Chain A
Amino acid sequence: QKEVEQDPGPLSVPEGAIVSLNCTYSNSAFQYFMWYRQYSRKGPELLMYTYSSGNKEDGRFTAQVDKSSKYISLFIRDSQPSDSATYLCAMTDSNYQLIWGAGTKLIIKP
């Protein structure tokens, strides 16, 4: 079993829809949780990072962590074609070792 599971997609939704991207993990020691966005042929860029459980909002993006279920989510409101990209989740334990999901490819149809 992989430490971090992420559906590769592609996930295709119409413009304006609410998008939900998810990762599950097995290691209860994970404390920091991150979401990265990667456009085609570019390096990943940090979108959001959260510590421990709870929600964090930044504009149209909301990151949610449920440590009891070992489940993290990224919600995108009012999705735009420019949000089309691959979204990667990542998390670290107390030793700061970074573990990556495989990434979900998101397509927003105009």
Chain B
Amino acid sequence: ETGVTQTPRHLVMGMTNKKSLKCEQHLGHNAMYWYKQSAKKPLELMFVYNFKEQTENNSVPSRFSPECPNSSHLFLHLHTLQPEDSALYLCASSQVGRDSGNTIYFGEGSWLTVV
């Protein structure tokens, strides 16, 4: 149990489908993140939400759409994805501040395959 729960763990979708990834954090943190991890590549930060406000969007294509309804929940809505979007999508949370320095905690990830 990591304190950050992601569903589904595995997802296979066609290029015309619409699906969503869900994340919930039980740690009382004030920031939540979506990362993309592809084979043999470093973690890529996609979106950051601080106190429910999106503070960062690292030039992510519009076919990825985040939603943060409250400080504990985060969604990543997916539509018309490409095969190169197949990757591990990681949700994370952190308590940004002087004491913790932004130490983040990850969920187990959602493995996405686009066919």
Contact = CB atoms under 8 A, between A and B. Distances in A.
Contact of A32 (B2, B90, B103, B105): B103
Interface stretch (A13-21, A43-51, A55-63, A69-77): A43-51
Contacts of A92: 101-102
Given A43-B2, A43-B108, A8 B103 contact: no
A102 B42 CA distance: 4
Interface string B93-106: 00011000111111
B102 A44 contact: no
A100 B101 contact: no
Contacts of B96: 96
Q: Which range contains the number of A residues in contact with the other chain? A: 20 to 34
B42 A41 contact: no
Candidate in A41, A88, A92, A96 with the most chain B CB atoms within 10 angstroms: A96
B55 to A, nearest CB: 10
B101 A103 contact: no
A46 B103 contact: yes
B38 to A, nearest CB: 12
Contact of B43 (A42, A45, A49, A88): A88
Nearest to B10: A41
A98 interface: yes
Contacts of A31: 101
A32 B95 CA distance: 14
B24 to A, nearest CB: 14
A103 B89 CA distance: 17
Nearest to A2: B42
